Amino acid sequence: GAGVSQTPSNKVTEKGKYVELRCDPISGHTALYWYRQSLGQGPEFLIYFQGTGAADDSGLPNDRFFAVRPEGSVSTLKIQRTERGDSAVYLCASSSGGSEDTQYFGPGTRLTVL
């Protein structure tokens, strides 16, 4: 079946601009996670959705970052007033939920802020 998809695959923007990154999880997966991976680092947790609600947003670095999942499926990560330090690969993962349930990752969106 279809895996997790993310669009766009690449995004280049200028400092100060607003960007939206989209994640389409595996059908039926209620848990959705966003991670950010900087060069040479492992992915770092940003936010977790169970259904429509953001159940854990403790990983968001500051209030310029926001994410929604209005219908419990597709999620959008929104970054306001982008900074060069926001450049990274943004990964989305989905799972059925539970500690032993595998999180399946999408291919990521590579964000470059000039």
Partner 1 sequence: RKEVEQDPGPFNVPEGATVAFNCTYSNSASQSFFWYRQDCRKEPKLLMSVYSSGNEDGRFTAQLNRASQYISLLIRDSKLSDSATYLCVVTISYSGAGSYQLTFGKGTKLSVIP
- What residues line the site for partner 1 (CB under 8 A)? 31, 33, 35, 40-45, 48, 50, 55-56, 58-59, 91, 93, 95, 97-103, 105-108
Supply the DSSP symbol for 102: P
Least distance to partner 1, CB of residue 53, Å: 8
Q: Which is nearer to partner 1, 10 or 80 (CB)?
A: 10
Direct distance between the N- and C-terminal alpha carbons of the chain, in angstroms, rounded to an integer: 37
In the bound state with partner 1, the residue whose beta carbon lies nearer, of 14 and 40, is 40
Residue 43, CA distances (Å) to 28, 58, 81, 92 in order: 24, 15, 22, 10
